[in-house]
Amino acid sequence: MIAPIWQAQYDIGRDSCVADGNVGRCRLIGDPTTWGKVVYTLFNHLDKRVRRYSAAQYGEPLAALGLRPGYVELLPDPMGSAGYSETGFDFLIPVYSAFFEALEAARVEQGASQDAAIIAPSFRVAGLNEVTADGSPTARFVDFMNGRAGPGPDVWSLLATVASPQEHLELFKEYAKLLPANAAVGDLAMRVAPTVWQKFEDKLVTQKQRSNYLGAFAAVVRILQQDNLELFVLDRWGGPGSPYGGTQTGEDLFFDSEGKILPAMIGFMPFNFMANGHYERVRVVRSDSAAASGDVYVLAGKNPDGRAAILVAALPKAGDDRIGYQVNVELNITGLGIGNWEMQRLVIDQDSTSLRYVERSKTPPPLGGALLIERHMVVPSVQYFELSPVL
């Protein structure tokens, strides 16, 4: 499901961004108290705007998925996009204090309820040590918020740079252990680690190929993190290097130079289909051979109309240097009931510039209560199957 996310900016009206290589880096916040009140006022304005999404046609489907009708990311990447990477976390404490104090004061005075959710701290992290180490900005932010009375973030966010989906899973599991019980967490700008792009630089030679890899990588993360993340966003500029030089931004893997869509941009659409179609997740059991291969991941669901949806993501496992090899995927589907079924199959690969259904066919009735679908996939890629009963 797609929900709007706004980003609160830095010091409105105080100078402009300064050049830092190819990146515009904002100056430090000059007056945290005034800034906190201004940003809270903006947040309150946005909160009122998103209330229209709380109407039954919008709010109820979002609530059913555990989502809010709107989100505001407070200080996106403050240690990178602002100058706090040089001054350190101590200079950020007054800023966070000012905002959350303004929020708390408004709640006391107005008794205001809040539809939009606050996201913080959105620090870029590249490994467990940058999350759990005592002196890390992330750990210090958690300690600071836990030591305060009053409200904290509605979603505790990071911006993760990881070498594998499994690393992403482990990183956020450890992060959750630091947080209040049942705290919502999110990744607001995931990137693939530079070591991965370096490993595949002679195999992922085109922008489309790199975008397709990122899309498949992100799909596996989404499958593994179904129970853990409230929000998951890809860094559009998460490619191996910027055409303008520098290290803060990478290659655009959503659009090419002519504005045409790349595979990573459409890689999340099947997840959206499943959310909008009210599919409830069902159990997926991997065979011994599939578990051993480690390069195919499956998410499946069934909706109240009796339709079934299956998303399959294929990605080379850690340590495998191959790209473009083919795997055979066998889906043994049970619980469909009797009768004929109609199948649609969508493929997202390095040639995808739009949603492309490659197959519409009718399947025979399930044999012995099970329907077997066998197809080939090229690694990396994503395939989405939708099964509808023929009435």
Residue in the block written with tokens 């989906």: 165
321-362 confidence digits (pLDDT tens): 999 999 999 999 988 877 889 999 999 999 998 888 999 998
Asked whether residue 250 carries a pLDDT value surpassing 50, the answer given is yes
pLDDT band at 21 (very low <50, low <70, confident <90, very high): low
Q: Mean pLDDT, to the nearest integer, of 126-155? A: 91
pLDDT band per the 50, 70, 90 thresholds, residue 18: low
Give the count of beta carbons closer than 10 Å to the beta carbon of residue 340: 12
CA distance 361 to 89: 58
Q: Is the pLDDT of residue 244 over 60?
A: no
Provide the pLDDT for residue 3: 66
Q: Please tell me the predicted confidence (pLDDT) of residue 25.
A: 57
Mean pLDDT of 155-172: 96
The full 3-state SS of the chain, as one line of letters, equals CCCCEEECCCCCCCCCCEEECCEEECCCCCCHHHHHHHHHHHHHHHHHHHHHHHCHHHHHHHHHCCCCCCEEECCCCCCCCCCHHHHCHHHCHHHHHHHHHHHHHHHHHHCCCCCCEEEEEEEEECCCHHHHCCCCHHHHHHHHHHCCCCCCCCEEEEEEEECCHHHHHHHHHHHHHHCCCCCEEEEEEEEECHHHHHHCCCCCCCHHHHHHHHHHHHHHHHHHCCCCEEEEEECCCCCCCCCCCCCCCCCCCCECCCCCECHHHHCCHHHHHHHHCCCEECCCCCCHHHHHHCCEEEEEEECCCCCEEEEEEECCCCCCCCCCEEEEEEEEEECCCCCCEEEEEEEECCCCCCCCEEEEEEECCCECCEEEEEEEEEECEEEEEEEEECC
Q: What is the mean pLDDT of residues 160-186?
A: 95
pLDDT > 90: percent of the chain: 50
Kindly report, residue by residue over 28-73, the tens digit of the pLDDT: 777 888 878 888 887 877 777 776 666 666 667 777 766 777 788 8
Measured CA to CA, the distance from residue 25 to residue 244 in angstroms comes to 16
pTM of the predicted model over 0.75: yes
At 63, list the tokens. Answer: 């609530």
Position 82 scores a pLDDT of: 66
- Tell which residue, 303, 308, 378, has the closest CA to residue 347: 378
Which CATH homologous superfamily contains domain 280-389?
Answer: Glycosyl hydrolase domain; family 39 (2.60.40.1500)
Contact between 271 and 346 under an 8 Å Cβ cutoff? The reply is no
Q: Is the pLDDT of residue 239 over 80?
A: yes
Domain assignments of the chain as residue spans, ordered by start: 5-276, 280-389
Whether omega before 364 lies within 30 degrees of 0, making that bond cis, reads: no
Q: Which of 272, 284, 275, 270 is nearest to 346 (CA)?
A: 270
| CATH of span 5-276 | 3.20.20.80
Beta carbons of 214 and 254 less than 8 angstroms apart: no
Q: Do 90 and 26 form a contact (C-beta atoms < 8 A)? A: no
Report the pLDDT value the prediction gives residue 36, as an integer from 0 to 100: 82
